[in-house]
Every structure is written in structure tokens, then in C-alpha cells.
Amino acid sequence: MAPQVSSELESTESMPLGPEMSPRARRLRVGAWQVARDLPASFRYAFQGLVYAFASQRNFRIHVLTGVVVFALGLWLQLSVDRLAVLVLTVAAVLVLELLNTATEAVVDLSVGRRFHPLARIAKDCAAAAVLVAALSSLMIALLLLLPPLLVRLGI
């Protein structure tokens, strides 16, 4: 699915605007500016964002896989429901920030194009730093919640 998303985005970048656009290009561009007409459409757009992030963002995939492993480990260690909830919230925070980082990068790239601008670099670096801070703190939370029961389970 990644190639389709990528090729649609790449194919619209250099398209002319206005009446000389192809019908397919017009559908892609017009759909991007419309507000969702109903609740299912809103969910569909959100799901498309998740699919795009998973297909195109290596770090998002790493965070999803890490979250699944951490949650599975928490279940295996029979953590209490409140501790599992803390793990879920922590992983969700990292994923949300990764999605916001992806959106920030896309908007910055859209606004500055292929030119360099120091404020664009700052925006992208700060968005990436937010993900880094969340990932490091989630690592600490996971260690605090998982390490003691893991050591007990392993007999160490």
C-alpha cells in the first residue's frame, strides 16, 4: 500500500493547478481540501493518516512494534490493569507525537518547498525533539514498570 500512497503524493506535487489538471489529479486535489461530510468519512481520513504514517515513516513502525512488544511483555508479566494502562498511555503519547511530527514536517515542506529556511529547520527539529523526549521518558516508564516483575519472573 505504501507505493500507492507515495505515488499519489508524488504525482500531485508537480501538477499544474487550474483547468489544465487531469480529472484524476483534480479528484486528488479537490478531496484534499474538503471537510468530511459525515462521521465515517472522518474516521476514514484518520485511518488513512495512520496507514500513511505506518507505510512511510520508519520511526512510526519502530514505535508501534516496540509498543506491541512492551504491552505483550506486560501481559506476560501479569501487570495490574493500572500499570498496563500507564504503558498504553505512554506508547500512545509517543505515537501521537510521531504523527504530529510527520504532519509538521509535511506542512513545513509544503510551505518552504525545496528552499532552506532556518525557521523551517527549527520547526522540524523541535517536532523531532518532542518525539525523542517522549520516547526516552516512555523507555524510563517501561523500565520502571517492567523490570522489577521481569527480574522476579527470571529469578534474578
| Helix pair angle (81-112, 118-154), 10° resolution | 160
HSE-CB at 133 with a 13 A cutoff on CA atoms is 8
CA dihedral sign of residues 146, 62, 112, 20: negative
| Size of the chain in residues | 156
Amino acid at 67: G
- Is 98 tagged catalytic? yes
19: helix, coil or strand? coil
CA distance 104 to 126: 10
H or E segment to which residue 103 belongs:
helix 81-112
Catalytic one among 13, 20, 98, 105? 98
What whole-number distance in Å separates Cα of residue 135 and Cα of residue 12? 33
Residue type, 40: P
Query: Which residues carry out catalysis?
Result: 98
